[in-house]
Every structure is written in structure tokens, then in C-alpha cells.
Structure 1
């Protein structure tokens, strides 16, 4: 049937799969490098906390049954290996009777492994792009490979993911901060976004007219363009181009992990081989019809998605819209949206330590530097995306509140620094101490960009003002005493 035939999508499938494999590779490398110090056996949010506070049915994960750093490492590096196999299109090397089953097994393995990290990662994996990667990765299982046509319905489902991502983001902006309605949000966004990049400072200093124009453009691309994803060609492809251009601008001006890159990958589903062959020097080979078992599987998945889409759609259309929410433990159909409100002031936590055994007014404090978030006012903002610095992102959220009790992992971070824990220190850009410090503290600052004139004169990218002490100086003995008190209470 024409409805299910994807004979004109062989190139689109190959391009989509390899792009998605690259993002999976990045995600598993992040897990291999960061999961254990963040959410492993002795992480900032220990894995035991996940096992104790959730059932397997609520948050299924391999680590529920094997909560060990060794299993985490095996799973992460297995994911890296499978991602590389997908990146070089290994299933396409096999004869056609075996290519599609091998492809389905490969993509299912990637999805299952990453599901384990997302469901066990707690706060450090609580981002919308985690669910989006899982939802997209699940659909990729049913695209097939080799010399057979992909099921067209799967591309419609991918367009549906893209639609909810973009349209949901547009709706939550209109319902949220009034600055989206009066077109002034972009006057604050570049300065207060989670992790600015080298271009953010320059984008911030564009004119107010420029910021109003780009805010209006944001509304058009998020609220009007998504309906064209389902239109006939070339309208759907033009909508995809607009989406890719929009996401490309966000990548140039900010560090949003792989959110923008994944949205671009999803936008590939709006093209067809006919459109791509007019701009790329590629020609699709002659393909065999989609195998019956793959067609049946794709139809069943489509029916499941229709049923699972009811709650996310109701949420998206509701006045009380909640962004970046999963409605099932497998993250099969989710609701998305970002930056419904824009902060006007940027707060940062500066963590400092001292080697002094006795604190005085003359105590010299030295700051820990992070890989992405601003600390040193003279440090130019860094480019880190699409790599995801999970600790840096959580520090941005933590700084919004003047109380450390909103972030239960933060005291453990200070304790790790006092211990000189190597795994934790690897998450930082610079450790100013050869030996663990005697005391650490956290100071809360308000940061703002310098003007062009100020930067020319001082070399600073930021000006900052101290607004309070987030955590008073604490020592190893303080943490050991708290530990003994907890033991007595048990």
C-alpha cells in the first residue's frame, strides 16, 4: 500500500540512522565519563538511592538488578561499541535477508542500554533530550536496513516527535513569560542561559530591534512551521530546512547539549530521496519492498504511539502545560518544551577551598574552575555542546535558589572535594590544590556580561557581584561528624 511504502526514503533512512548513531555515540561517551561520579555506587546521587526509591516497573534499568560501577562501565562502553557499528552502517554490509533483523537488534540494543542510564540517572539525567533520544531511538528500531524500503509510517512517527518538540516549545513560551509575548525575551536569554558559548556574548549585544525580530522568528518557526512537516513535498522539506536553520542558530549561540543536534536529526525525516538527490550527489539504489514482518511491526508501533500520544497531547494543549515530561516508564511518547520562562538575572555558585588549617580574615581562598559554567570573569565562555556537562548544568539550576537544601547532591560534592576524590575532580576543569583543601565553601554571585567598552578596557567577559554565602566554610571533620550523627539516628 502507498501509505506504508517508503521506497522514496532509502537515502533519508541511511542519513538519519548515521546521524542518530553519532548522537548515541556521544551520549554513551558522556555516560562512560560522567555517570559513575554522578550517579554510580559512590556518586553524588548514589545508585542505591535510585534502587531504594523506585521500583523496576516504574523506572526499568539494568542497574536496578546490577547496581555496580563495573556494570555501568560495561554498559557504557558496550553502547559506544554498538554506536560505532551503527555509525558505519554495519547492517548494510549484510545480505538483505539478514540486514534488517541485524539492524533491528542493533538499534534495540542501543535503546535498551540508554534506557538503563536515563532511568537510573536521577536528577543528572532529568533533561528533555534524554527522553527525546529514547523516543527517537525506539522508532529507529523499525526502519530496517539494506536493500529493502523502510516503512513510511515510521517517518511520519518521527515527524510527530519533531512536531511535539517544536510546537510544545512554542506553546509553553506563549503561555509562560510575558517577555515572549512582548518580544523582549532574547534581550536576556544569551546572558542567562545555562552555559553560554563564545558567540553568546556577541549575540547579547545586538540591538533591541534584532532581538525582537529573532523572538518573532522563534514564534513562527515553533508555532507555524511544524504543521508543514506533514505536508507534501517540497513543503515538508522547506519546513525541515527552516527548522534546521533555526536549530543551527541555537547551536552557534549556546550550549544546549545535543538538544539542537537531535532536533536537526529528526528534521531529516521531513525530506525525501527526491528532494535530497537534487541537492546532494547521491542516487538511491533500486530497493525491494518492505518485508511483511517489518510492515506489521511498524503498524503495531504506530497504533501504540497513537494510544500513548493522548496524554502528552492533552498536556501540550492544556493551559497548565508541563514541559519535558514522560508519561510511560519506557519514554516512548513524551511531551517537550523549553524556556517557558526566562530569568532576568544570572546567578552562579563559586566553590572555593583553602589549605589554611585555621580560618582568619586573611585566609586565601582559591576557586575551582568548571569545564563549561562561568567562574573566572576573564575566562571567555567555552564551546562544549553537543557534549553534555551534566554537573555544570545542575550547578546552573542550583544557583537559582539561595538554599543548598534544594540540591541534595551539592553537600556531597563539597565532601568529595574535601576528600580529593579523583573521579569527581575529573568533572572539573581545574583543581587548584595538589593536596585536598582543609575547608571549602560556596559563594553565590550575580553575573552579567561586560559591555564592549568594558571588555576592551579590562579583558573581562563578565562582571560579578557577591550576593550571599551559599555554604559556609566546612571541613572534612564537619562531614565526618554529620556521618556519625546519621549513624546514631539509624
Structure 2
């Protein structure tokens, strides 16, 4: 059942190799009888069948520890469900004390799903007036480009751009470094992109704008041929340039355009 569920998710979504990892973790749960005889014989050579020793300590102590862990786990669960924490009482304070130990968490890879899809577009310009866009290999960009299927490949840059779009750029230190490398014309970084609108020399200015994307309806797609419709939301980060080879803010007049 778990295997079928993971295969269904993998066939209908782009979750990289996460579904494969889950399937691999399920392999040890299979009964030995499902494996060919040759593999079962090979397993017997390397697996120690000696029963594991029982846990030390009175059952009451183990039960108390498990009870404490369960109660503490209610705090991150309430946070993940966006529920009120007032009913937790002193548990919230106890969780804060235990948090550095990392002994409880909600362990959810996608515990909170976003309801909107903001997408960052990177554009370059030499005069601050005419802007040309860089196209990423996998994430949405050109509204007419059909969404790709890349699993089990994990496109790290495109994946991080999605997280950046739902975060404050000031907390995404890597994003500033990425912009600096684009302005420097770094070939290894530019190879991560699908298109480079400045093949001869990098642009003087770089900006990141964010749009709210949504899938077009069937009628809209038939009319325009577009898979996406984007609603401009404004600048994601200040317009950037290079000064003495280092990243810097562009002149104030460019920030208002």
C-alpha cells in the first residue's frame, strides 16, 4: 500500500528523489519470503539472528519518558496545524527548553503547503530601462512553456528559488551571492540557467521581480496557448549592480522603476 502510494505521488508530482527514499526505507519491512532463495541464503550469512537485548530500566521510567516526549510533540504539531497554543499551557515553555536537543519535531517534509505560487524572475539591463529575463531550466517562467517533469532529478537552484519566493530576500544569503555571480558572468552559475540573454557580456544591472502565478483555465489556454498566468507583485529585492567587482545597490532612481 505504501509502495503504491509513493508511486502514485511520484507519477503526479515533482518531488525529486523523496519518494524513492521512502520506498527504499520500506524494503526492510518486506517479509523474507518475497525474496528469491539465493538472496535469503546470502542474507543469513550477514544477519545476526540473536534476539536484541531488552531495554534496561523499569517499565514505569520508560513509560514516563515516552509520555513526556508525546506531550512535548503536541507543541510543534499545534504549530504545524496553525492552531492556538493557549491550551498547551506550560508545555510551550517546556518545549522551548527542550528544542535545542532536537528530540521532538513534527517531522514533516511538506508539513505546511502554500496556497499561492509566487515566482521570482531574474532580469538584467544595461541602461535600467530595457530589461531582459533569464530563464530557469525547470521552474515556471515563460507562461507558454509547458511545465516539465524532472523527478527523480532534484534541480537544486530552481528548488531554492521557490523557497526564496515565499521568504524575505534578506534571509536568503545565497540569493545575493547568486545575483553577484550572474552580474560577474560566472560561467558555472550561468550554466545552471536555461537561457542567458547577455551572451557577450554580463549586464550592468540586475533585478528580481516576483509574480503570482496560477495555471490558466482550459479556455484561456486554448485562446492564448499559455500554461501560466502571472500577476506582477513588484520587486522581490533591490536592483543590484557591481562596484569594484562586489555586489552593491543600484542608484536610487532605478529602485523606483
- TM above 0.5, yes or no, is yes
User: Which is higher, the Rg of structure 1 or of structure 2?
Assistant: 2
**What's the offset of the Cα at 1:317?**
4.2
Query: 1:259 and 2:28 equivalent?
Result: no
Deviation for aligned residue 1:288:
7.2
- Judged with a 3 Å threshold, the aligned counterparts in structure 2 of structure 1 residues 285 and 426 are, in CA distance, closer, same or farther, namely closer
Aligned pairs (5 A) from 1:54-453: 242-274=1-33, 276=34, 282-284=36-38, 287=41, 290=44, 294=48, 299=52, 314=70, 317-321=73-77, 336-354=107-125, 356=126, 358-360=127-129, 363=130, 365-401=131-167, 403-434=168-199, 435-453=201-219
Structure with the higher helix share, 1 or 2: 1
* Number of positions where the alignment pairs a residue of Structure 1 with one of Structure 2: 222
- Inter-CA distance 312–288: structure 2 relative to 1 (3 Å threshold): farther
User: What does the per-residue CA deviation read over 1:243-302, in whole Å, with 9 as the maximum and x for residues that have no partner?
Assistant: 11211121112111211111122222332242x36xxxx444662784699557x948x9
Q: How high is the TM-score relative to the length of structure 1?
A: 0.40
Q: For the residues of structure 1 that align with 2:100 and 2:13, how far apart are their CA atoms?
A: 25
Contact 1:369 1:430 in 2 (8 A): yes
Contact map agreement 2:119 2:162 (CA 8 A) in 1: yes
- Residues in 1 aligned to 2:42 and 2:7: alpha-carbon distance in whole angstroms: 35
Q: Please, which moves more after superposition, 283-292 or 436-445?
A: 283-292
1:460 equivalent to 2:226? Answer yes
**Consecutive unaligned residues in structure 2, runs of 5 or more:** 56-61, 81-98, 250-257
Cα pair 2:122 2:209 within 8 Å, conserved: yes
Deviation, 1:326, is 10
Inter-partner Cα distance in structure 2 for 1:432 and 1:422: 13
Question: TM-score, normalized by length of structure 2?
Answer: 0.72
- Maintained 8 Å contact 1:311/1:327: no
Change (3 A) 1:468 1:383: same
Q: Answer yes or no: is the 8 Å Cα contact 1:315–1:335 preserved in 2.
A: no
Cα distance change, pair 405–292 in 1 and its aligned pair in 2 (3 A): closer
For structure 1, the 5+ residue unaligned runs are: 1-241, 484-490
Deviation at residue 422 of structure 1 after TM alignment:
1.4
Separation in structure 1 between the aligned mates of residue 100 and residue 14 of structure 2, nearest angstrom: 23
Using the TM superposition, give the Cα deviation of residue 417 of structure 1 relative to its aligned residue in structure 2, in angstroms. 0.2
**Distance in 1 (alpha carbons) for counterparts of 2:124 and 2:43:** 65
Residues 284 and 310 (structure 1 numbering): CA distance in 2 closer, same or farther, change over 3 Å? farther
CA distance in 2, matches of 1:334, 1:250: 24
- Say whether the 8 Å CA contact 1:348–1:447 is kept in structure 2: yes
SS at match of 2:207: strand
Deviation at 1:338, TM superposition (A): 3.3
Contact 1:312 1:327 in 2 (8 A): no
Of Structure 1 and Structure 2, the greater strand share is in: 2
Asked whether the equivalents of residues 117 and 213 of structure 2 are also in contact (C-alpha less than 8 Å), the reply is: yes
**Aligned counterparts of 2:18 and 2:163: Cα–Cα separation in 1:** 17
- Answer whether contact 1:326 1:335 (CA < 8 A) is retained: no
